[in-house]
């Protein structure tokens, strides 16, 4: 229950992180919409009644809502993305400049506006990581084995201190950090490891152990361990151009790693109990904040990748669902019917809410809040 007693130490970092990422996402929609001549009515951080705001010279209302758990950009004529425009709306647009209406833009322009939000999140991740790599440096440790844990999967496979890992399952390994990412995504299946031992190459097979760990909050979770440690931790500072290049690679690795993990959950090879909801993110935000500004920026980059990726899933109510409708429109030569879109959004909303409830339940179970409540009533 220590998390619940953490108070502002957890909530404030969470709100800062969420506000920045939501602003970046909505700014992507806003910027591309403006570039395509769409009139923006509202740019909101948060939902519900307005706490404060202002109207700029082009008529856009910039505001902060009382519930800081998201945000939105409302564009003139946007309603047709969900359903057919009402007669009143149509009449209003008829008397206005239609060039500023979202629904009167070409298909590729509407698709670009919708895709811009997730794209902005990926760009933010690259920029954030590039700043870290250019200032603090990127962890770039040679993939050399410093130590082997007794009784571990590595020990059983015959891996020895001083070995250099060249490849895993045919994938070349340049950094120890890449090795860690591969092991974390493993679900206890055998891995073929190519080693360099004293100038000679040899191949071994190791099956990482899936173990249960308990964090300082008393929550248990599963992790995969090979049982080796590195000799040291090296950091390499890159020039701006190289920093962007390596940040792009790291963003790609985060994206593909997330997709693999989701695929493993869908196939049943990874437990869905690893999903985290808002409560889990609040807790992680507080923990990361204790590590300083670099940890926070790195955490924001990871969350930004996940936010962009999730929004691209082809689920109605998400950006990916809108893009799916636009693909159908491109194929059919006309938009889907009002009823088809309405049912699609209902199903999509149900899926998103179900996933949110499930992830939040996982968070509550990890924090033992359910056990705590049961103890109060029994």
What pLDDT sits at residue 1? 46
Q: Which of 109-118, 244-253, 356-365 has the lowest mean pLDDT?
A: 356-365
Question: Catalytic annotation on 78?
Answer: no
**DSSP state, residue 101:** -
Instruction: For residue 145, give the nearest of 83, 53, 228 by alpha carbon.
Output: 228
In the predicted model, is pLDDT for residue 72 greater than 80? Answer: yes
* Catalytic member of 26, 78, 93, 250: 26
The domains located in the chain, with CATH, are 1-26+103-138+239-261+271-378 (no CATH), 141-233 (2.30.42.10)
In this predicted model, what pLDDT tens digit does every residue of 245-296 receive, in sequence order? 999 999 998 898 888 877 777 776 666 566 666 666 667 777 777 778 888 8
pLDDT of residue 219: 53
- Provide the pLDDT confidence category of residue 376 given band limits of 50, 70 and 90: very low
**138 neighbors 238 (Cβ within 8 angstroms):** yes
Q: Which of 306, 305, 327, 331 is nearest to 316 (CA)?
A: 327
Name which residue leads in pLDDT, 348 or 23.
23
- Tell me the C-alpha to C-alpha distance, in Å, between residue 232 and each of 55, 142, 145, 224, 250: 54, 9, 10, 21, 21
Closest CA to 310 of 259, 350, 360: 259
Query: What digits encode the pLDDT tens for the residues 164-202?
Result: 999 998 888 888 888 888 888 888 889 899 999 988 999
């Amino acid at each position: 229950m220590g998390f619940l007693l953490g108070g502002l130490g957890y909530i404030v970092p969470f709100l800062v992180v969420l506000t920045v990422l939501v602003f970046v996402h909505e700014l992507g929609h806003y910027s591309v919409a403006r570039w395509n001549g769409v009139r923006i009515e509202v740019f909101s951080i948060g939902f519900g009644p307005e706490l404060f705001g202002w109207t700029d010279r082009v008529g856009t209302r910039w505001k902060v809502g009382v519930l800081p758990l998201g945000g939105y950009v409302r564009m003139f004529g946007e309603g047709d993305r969900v359903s057919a425009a009402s007669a009143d709306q149509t009449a209003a647009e008829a008397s206005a400049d239609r060039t500023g209406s979202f629904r009167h833009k070409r298909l590729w322009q509407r698709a670009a506006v919708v895709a811009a939000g997730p794209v902005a999140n990926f760009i933010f991740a690259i920029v954030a990581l590039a700043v870290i790599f250019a200032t603090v440096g990127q962890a770039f440790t040679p993939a050399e084995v410093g130590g082997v844990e007794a009784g571990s999967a590595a020990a059983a496979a015959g891996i020895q201190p001083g070995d250099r890992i060249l490849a895993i399952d045919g994938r070349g390994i340049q950094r120890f950090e890449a090795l860690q990412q591969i092991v974390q995504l493993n679900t206890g299946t055998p891995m073929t490891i190519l080693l360099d031992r004293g100038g000679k190459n040899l191949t071994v097979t190791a099956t990482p152990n899936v173990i249960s760990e308990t964090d300082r909050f008393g929550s248990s979770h599963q992790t995969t361990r090979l049982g080796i440690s590195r000799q040291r931790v090296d950091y390499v500072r890159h020039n701006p151009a190289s920093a962007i290049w390596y940040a792009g690679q790291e963003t790609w690795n985060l994206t593909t790693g997330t997709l693999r993990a989701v695929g493993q959950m869908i196939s049943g090879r990874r437990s869905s109990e690893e999903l985290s909801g808002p409560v889990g993110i609040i807790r992680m935000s507080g923990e990361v904040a204790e590590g300083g500004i670099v940890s926070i920026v790195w955490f924001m980059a990871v969350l930004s990748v996940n936010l962009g990726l999730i929004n691209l899933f082809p689920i109605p109510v998400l950006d990916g669902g809108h893009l799916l409708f636009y693909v159908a429109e491109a194929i059919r030569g006309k938009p889907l019917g009002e009823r088809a879109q309405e049912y699609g959004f209902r199903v999509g909303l149900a899926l998103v809410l179900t996933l949110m409830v499930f992830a939040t339940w996982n968070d509550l179970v990890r924090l033992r809040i359910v056990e705590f409540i049961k103890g109060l009533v029994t």
